[in-house]
Structure 1
Amino acid sequence: MKVPMLDLSEQYQQLKSEILAVLDEVMSSSRFILGDQVKKLESDIASYSNVKHGIGCGNGSDAIHIALQAAGVGPGDEVITTAFTFFATGGSIVRTGAKPVFVDIDPVTFNIDPKKIEAAITEKTKAIVPVHLYGQMADMDAIVEIAQKHQLAIIEDAAQAIGAKYKGKSVGELGTAATYSFFPTKNLGAYGDGGMIVTNDDELAEKCRVIRVHGSKPKYYHHILGYNSRLDEMQAAILNVKFPHLNKWSELRRKHADTYTRMLKEKVGDIIVTPVESKDCYHVFHQYTIRAPKRDELQAFLKENGIATMIYYPLPLHLQPVFKDLGYKEGDLPEAEKAAKEALSLPMFPELKEEQQEYVVSKIAEFYKK
């Protein structure tokens, strides 16, 4: 049996007629940049996030960068974030001219450990960027308390967590702003790049809108340095077709996660560590990530048996060569470094079949029996 990490083909076949129809609408309208499709998606995603504003942009990385800049982060500032995340989190901080300050993670959730944040704050700290990794929100109460105490902005990196909840609150409700990615592999994915910033802050929202069009307001008059980072009308049209299905897809992901956990406990036992949904959280399982002894050998064995897996992320940001000038060394953030050696994400997408999951788990059990 072949089990892919992700298979978008079945989803496309289910929505094909609607997608082709809406793309034809866009082509016929000849309105390709910041048209009605983008406006509709911005409004719908903002409402979904229980905030007032959605600002579409070119991708999830730009969303973080633009939100930080709009929040006043710039050269000489410091921004605290997790070291266990995709490069865009740290890279976007550097692109503002600020310095990323990496702290360690909670070993249970893989998210930033709030207990490590306060010690990293200096007079230069301007913001905190918690990452809601794998589809579960970070411990936002503790982060908000620290941010308010020190008057810091919170930019939530929610690239993997659209639809996630924390104590009934949505992504974007508790921070200054939150950012989404619509990369094709995401829970709500386009057929190309795309991103969005969501916020309740009127002033920040307006700054984001100006920054994404070269800092121009009115057109051809530039008071700040911005970028060309707009959500494409055709990608927005595709996302508008897919968006009504998002909650159903999230529930299917959660069902698959329960199935994995049950099967793994039954057939593999405590050899591996399965994901934990934190109390009062609603996990949308962008990834189903286990901790596995002999992780690399297990991954190779599964590959030999037709099962795709992914390692998110094999080298934490504080040890990335491009950040060597920040002065971090191995051992500085032990939990992030340990996770990088143990974390393995199993196939996860709404259309995943139970027999595929059974096959995956049976092969994991076979590996450890050997």
Structure 2
Amino acid sequence: MLNGRDPRIDFFRGLALIFIFWDHVPHTPLANVTVQNFGFSDAAEIFVFLAGYAAVLAYGKILQRDGYFIACLKILRRVWTLYVVHIFLLALLMGMVIFANSHIETRDLVQEMGLEYFLTHTQQALLDELLLRFKPNLTDPLPLYIVLILSLPITLPLLLRAPKVTVAASLAVYLLAPWQGWNLPASNGGVWYFNPITWQCLFILGGVAALRSPSRAEPRPLLRQPLFVAAALYVLVTCVITLSWRWPEVHDAWMPRVIGEWLYPISKTDLSPVRLLHFLALAYVTAKLLPDVGWTKQWLALQLARMGRYSLEVFCLGVVLAPLADMLNAMAGDSLAIKLSTALAGAVLMGVLAAWLDLNKRLDQRYASRAVIATK
């Protein structure tokens, strides 16, 4: 049984979009408050998990109402939209970065953005772009999202009919992929930064969450619930470890060598198990601490939730704004005020775009309803 739309999902999608934007602007002070500074996972895990949740919720209802063929058509139409957006966004981003690079002498933005391959192997880079193999910095999540949505014609019916079997198969592939070296090829002999063969596991887990019926709050206090206590302790320990990275001497002094050799490196490409476990623990703790939706009616929460409802458009704007903010920050030197201003201005513009899109949608719905009434 599919749940209704949970406003908390939209809120956290919007918050993840803000965090992704701040994380993509080098040296901005607000990047210090994003989730990546307090644990092993970051906003990418939030985005992919909630993308799976939203995708199964939306296309699962279409599958149940209109059948498999119609659901596949809508999925493929969405994939085509994402693909076109990816190509256009990449072209726009390359033009912006190359232009900005000619006006900033202290840094090589082309190299920082991973665009030197395009300048040195233009024809091959264009072909790789069409095949989703050429992905400069900032654009990696979109090709991953395309592949994950493209997998829905196979995974969605399995999730609806046998969710436990589907999760077991997904986990098996997730565990085998790093061991067997499974990944998709990228340009210049590389592989995808976000390995879709491992990240599919988080997408599937998000889809399973959409299938679960809302659970009633347990009468026992949270501190008497073993799973909550274990998850909270893991989140706390990983937070301490992550914060210690800021002071390597302190970290090396208290981190046992045996544990460090087992723990590091924490792969983001293959979604290291400690990253996956951290996100799941963090999500569980958050869900337990915020069991109701009343707080989502506050003004700021409503703005973030609206951004989450238009995640594709807002994400693309964030990708465009990140190099612009970086360019302005570089031209202003080490001005803290400018760095704060560009980070906040970018977040506000993302919110304005979501408000504009929402207004247009409501106007279209109003005109459509009037047209229906007029024909009766």
> Scaled by the length of structure 1, what TM-score is found?
0.23
Which structure shows the higher strand fraction? Answer: 1
TM-score scaled to structure 2, two decimals?
A: 0.23
Greater share of residues in helix: 2
In our comparison, the structure showing a higher alpha carbon Rg is 2
